[in-house]
Amino acid sequence: MMAQGKKAPHVAAVHDLSGMGRCSLAIVLPVLSAMGCWCSALPTAYLSASTIFPPTDKFVFRDLTGEMEGSAGHWEELGVRFDALYSGFVGSERQIGVLGDLLRRFRGKDTLVMVDPVMGDWGKPYRTYTPAMCRAMKSLAAMADVITPNFTEAAILLDEPYEHVPRGEAGIREWLERLSGEGRRSVIITGVHPAQDRVGAACFDRERGEFSMTAVHEAPAQFPGTGDLFSTVTLGGLLTGRSLKEAAALAVDFVGACARYTLELGTPVEEGVQFETLLGRLTPGRE
């Protein structure tokens, strides 16, 4: 007799793919699988390696906008249904339009839409991001049920100078409320420092109308791909029955554990965090 259980939540993951480096789809696919989700990938671009690998101007890049449009059309013909639509890095303003169309075509009554508005870090937009792309990303974020910006991206979405990033709890709550669109969407701001040597995330849960904050001891290193890892674990947590607060706490703890483990191993920072050995912590029934 076959074991009885729940059907795996089906996720459409619209992210780039790097051949070398732990980021984007190289994180999304194994993490969601470990958390009991079925993930269908829609790559926005192919890069030979994440752009942090030196020399940073030598990577191979292929724009996959045409393939995105064709794949979405094929999926529609197949009649597929998704429990979640999840987007990350996009390579052009046109791709943001394609992604918005995909959300409209595949969003069902109970489909969860998570937009990670990957636009920049450390106070500056990425060099591939134009002002027009930033404006288009604001429109895309407005379509989401959950957004997961860092402080740089939150500032861009709110048209605020990075110098105005709030440090205290009251200011962070205000930004969360503004980003929520008067409570229409849940918001998680990453890279929050509630105390010295601690880092985590601040959340607004639209379903419960509550604010929360979670943090762990900050590792003395900045690893690429940790934003992708955080958002992916959070999504997996939401799809497996956790509240936003619980899902964000799980993600903060897991990213922190991966960072500490990677520092112990001493592997190159540009390779990202060594999450593979720790995936068992995310498997349902093994937390």
CA 69 to mean position of chain CA atoms? 22
175 in a domain, yes or no?
yes
User: 194 in a domain, yes or no?
Assistant: yes
Distance of CA 204 to the CA centre of its chain: 16
Residue 28 near residue 13 (C-beta atoms within 8 A) = yes
- The tally of domains found in the chain comes to 1
Closest CA to 30 of 261, 254, 259, 190: 254
Q: Please report the pLDDT score of residue 177 as a whole number.
A: 97
What does the block give as tokens for 122?
């450390």
Q: Are 118 and 158 in contact (CB under 8 A)?
A: no
Length of the chain: 287
DSSP state of 207: T
Residue 52 lies in a domain: no
What are the Cα distances from residue 72, in Å, to 46, 83, 98?
Answer: 17, 16, 9
Q: Are 68 and 42 in contact (CB under 8 A)?
A: yes
DSSP code of residue 62: E
191-219 tens-digit pLDDT? 999 999 999 999 999 999 999 999 999 99
Q: Map residue 33 onto helix, strand or coil.
A: helix
Residues of the chain below pLDDT 70: 1-5, 56, 285-287
pLDDT value of position 2: 42
If you search the block for the tokens 């900045």, which residue do you land on?
Answer: 222
What residue has token string 């795996």?
8
Is residue 95, in this structure, part of any structural domain at all? yes
Q: Count the Cβ atoms, other than its own, within 10 Å of residue 12.
A: 24
Find residue 127's DSSP bridge partners.
Answer: none
CATH at residue 145: 3.40.1190.20
Q: Kindly give, in sequence order, each residue whose CB lies less than 8 Å from that of residue 147, ignoring residues fewer than 6 positions away.
A: 114, 115, 116, 117, 141, 157, 179, 185, 186, 187, 188
Q: Rounded to whole angstroms, how far apart are CA atoms 59 and 52?
A: 10
Please give the Cα distance from 276 to 120 (Å, whole number). 26
Q: Is residue 224 part of a domain?
A: yes
DSSP designation for 48: S
What is the C-alpha to C-alpha distance for residues 259 and 261, in angstroms, rounded to an integer?
Answer: 5
Could you tell me the pTM of the whole model? Answer: 0.95
186 assigned to some structural domain: yes
pLDDT in tens, 58-68: 778 899 999 99
Query: In a 3-state reduction of DSSP, which class is residue 230?
Result: helix
Q: Is residue 47 situated within a structural domain?
A: no
Q: Are strands 84-87 and 45-47 parallel, antiparallel or unpaired?
A: unpaired
Closest of 124, 122, 149, 121 to residue 137, by C-alpha: 149
H helix or E strand, kind and range, residue 41: strand 38-41
Range of the domain at 190: 85-99+112-282
Question: Is residue 75, in this structure, part of any structural domain at all?
Answer: no
Peptide bond into 55 cis (omega under 30): yes
